[in-house]
């Protein structure tokens, strides 16, 4: 593992508060993979052999049915560690992971990680906090699916995309494929397209990947955002 990768790892939410010497120890046993778009990182039902830390790029966690139907459960961005629960519980993966755009991924072997977790309270603490953060993200997503319409989910997504802006105008440059965003939001690309259209009524103007928002507060109000996310 290169020094620059080691540094990136140390800035990750999961490892940020872990003493450097523990990180170093884990980094020694780890390696970094660069994978192209479309690569399958691991498969639902498989044994968890590595903690994956996304240094750069984007990956999708997708659930599959027995009949081959798939859905995107979550999209991981640079800095995210997955899939810790499977490692802790020594349980098979609940989802597959697919690379959405060329990614650099640190692979930390499960065995040494489990041992380090048991020996280093700091690391276990970091793991617990990381899990707690993800728990909230998942809960938020369930709330989204259960009590927001597709239009509202799109509005909520856009407004979290510009979370630094409290109110007033904003401009977004969406770099993800629309199909991935749509899948994450639990809708088809067609519906995403129509929703973007629909949002013109609350001051959202779109031109390709560039999206102009007249007033973020207005968009938030439409989405029914509760300030908890």
Residue 168 contact among its own copies, DNA, none, beta carbon within 5 to 8 Å by kind: none
Tokens at 48, concatenated: 């968890």
Query: Which residue bears the tokens 């120890």?
Result: 25
Helices (H), the chain: 3-11, 20-29, 84-89, 110-119, 121-147, 150-161, 178-184, 189-198, 216-223
Stretch that binds DNA, among 2-10, 46-54, 182-190, 218-226 (CB under 7 A): 182-190
x/- site string to its own copies, residues 34 to 63, per CB under 8 A?
----------xx-----------------x
Instruction: By CB under 8 A, tell whether 22 contacts its own copies.
Output: no
Radius of gyration of the chain (CA): 19
Cα distances from 144 to residues 44, 133, 221, in angstroms, run 24, 17, 15
Cβ at position 55, least distance to DNA in Å:
23
Q: Rounded to 5 degrees, what are φ and ψ at 99?
A: -75, 125
Q: Which DSSP state fits 73?
A: E
Chosen residue from 52, 98, 151, 184 binding DNA by CB under 7 A: 151
Rounded Cα distance, 149 and 187, in Å: 10
Residue 192 contact among its own copies, DNA, none, beta carbon within 5 to 8 Å by kind: DNA
Residue 141 contact among its own copies, DNA, none, beta carbon within 5 to 8 Å by kind: its own copies
Instruction: By CB under 7 A, tell whether 141 contacts DNA.
Output: no
Q: Which residues bind its own copies (CB under 8 A)?
A: 44-45, 63-67, 69-71, 73, 84-86, 88-89, 91-92, 94-95, 117-118, 121, 124-125, 127-129, 131-136, 138-143, 145-148, 186, 224-228
């Amino acid at each position: 593992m290169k020094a620059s990768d080691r540094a990136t790892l140390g800035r990750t939410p999961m490892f940020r508060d872990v003493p450097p010497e523990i990180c170093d120890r884990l980094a020694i046993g780890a390696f970094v993979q660069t994978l192209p778009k479309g690569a399958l990182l691991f498969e639902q039902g498989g044994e968890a052999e590595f903690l994956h830390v996304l240094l750069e790029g984007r990956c999708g966690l997708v659930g599959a049915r027995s009949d081959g139907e798939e859905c995107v459960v979550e999209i991981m961005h640079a800095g995210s560690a997955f899939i810790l629960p499977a490692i802790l519980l020594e349980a098979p993966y609940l989802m597959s992971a697919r690379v959405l755009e060329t990614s650099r991924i640190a692979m930390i072997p499960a065995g040494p990680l489990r041992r380090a977790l048991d020996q280093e309270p700091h690391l276990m603490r970091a793991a617990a906090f990381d899990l707690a953060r993800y728990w909230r993200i998942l809960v938020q997503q369930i709330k989204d699916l259960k009590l927001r319409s597709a239009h509202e989910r799109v509005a909520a997504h856009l407004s979290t995309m510009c979370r630094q802006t409290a109110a007033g105008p904003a401009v977004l440059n969406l770099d993800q494929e629309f199909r991935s965003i749509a899948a994450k939001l639990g809708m088809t690309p067609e519906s995403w397209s129509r929703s973007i259209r629909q949002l013109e009524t609350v001051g959202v103007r779109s031109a390709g990947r560039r999206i102009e928002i007249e007033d973020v507060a207005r968009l938030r109000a439409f989405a029914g955002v509760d300030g908890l996310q």
